[in-house]
């Protein structure tokens, strides 16, 4: 049971990250105002998917990584953990990219917390993906893989048919009657 817990933790972190990235893509990421001679001051709000087009694809990538993590095992899973880690670091970088410009142009009429929340949710998603990558690199080779319960150990592969065992002993060159 202890081997499965880290796997479910990684799957949960990646699913949570996908959800957070999707939510972040719907939240406000920037807010600008400009003057229009006909209408006066016009305020434009950009949500996360308009400001950073990679948010939704990153959410889909996090979901795809779940399948990749569950289906692989051993060294391949540890390598996948490195990829997951890099995706997480990239997501955190994406959330912080251009924040100083946004807050420098931030109109005073719009609450600071609204823009910060959109970026903060993306940072949380990136940290979840990064943590999942660290767990995979550290202990991914110990986690069970898809279909592992159907793989029989070497001892269980012994033939249960006594006649077949006799023939296999004859084929190997030993005398089956000597051991009886």
Q: What is the mean pLDDT of residues 111-124?
A: 85
In a domain, 155, yes or no: no
DSSP state of 37: T
Domain membership flag for residue 98:
yes
Residue 105 is assigned to a structural domain of this protein: yes
* CATH number of the domain encompassing residue 138: 1.20.140
- For residue 65, give its domain range: 4-149
Q: Please report whether residue 160 resides in a domain.
A: no
Burial of 53 (0-12, 13-18, 19+ CB in 10 A): exposed
Please give the model's pTM, rounded to 2 decimal places: 0.72
Number of structural domains in the chain: 1
pLDDT at position 88? 93
Q: Is residue 171 part of a domain?
A: no
Q: Does 178 map to a domain?
A: no
Q: Please report the pLDDT score of residue 160 as a whole number.
A: 66
In this predicted structure, the answer to whether residue 133 has a pLDDT above a threshold of 50 is yes
> For residue 58, what are the contacts with CB-CB under 8 A and spacing of at least 6?
21, 87, 90, 91, 94, 125
**How do residues 53-111 score in pLDDT, each as one tens digit?**
899 999 999 999 998 888 888 888 888 899 999 999 999 999 888 777 766 666 566 66
């Amino acid at each position: 049971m202890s081997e499965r817990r880290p796997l479910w933790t990684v799957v949960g972190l990646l699913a949570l990250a996908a959800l957070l990235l999707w939510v972040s893509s719907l939240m406000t990421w920037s807010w600008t105002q400009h003057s229009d001679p006909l209408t006066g001051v016009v305020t434009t709000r950009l949500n996360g998917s308009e400001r950073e087009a990679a948010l939704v694809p990153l959410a889909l990538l996090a979901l795809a990584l779940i399948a990749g993590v569950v289906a692989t095992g051993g060294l391949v899973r540890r390598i996948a953990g490195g990829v997951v880690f890099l995706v997480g670091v990239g997501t955190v970088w994406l959330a912080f990219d251009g924040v100083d410009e946004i807050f420098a142009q931030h109109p005073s009429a719009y609450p600071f917390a609204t823009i910060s929340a959109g970026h903060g949710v993306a940072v949380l998603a990136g940290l979840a993906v990064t943590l999942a990558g660290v767990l995979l690199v550290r202990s991914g080779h110990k986690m069970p893989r898809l279909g592992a319960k159907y793989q029989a150990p070497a001892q269980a592969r012994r033939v249960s048919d006594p006649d077949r065992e006799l023939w296999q002993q004859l084929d190997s060159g030993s005398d089956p009657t000597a051991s009886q």
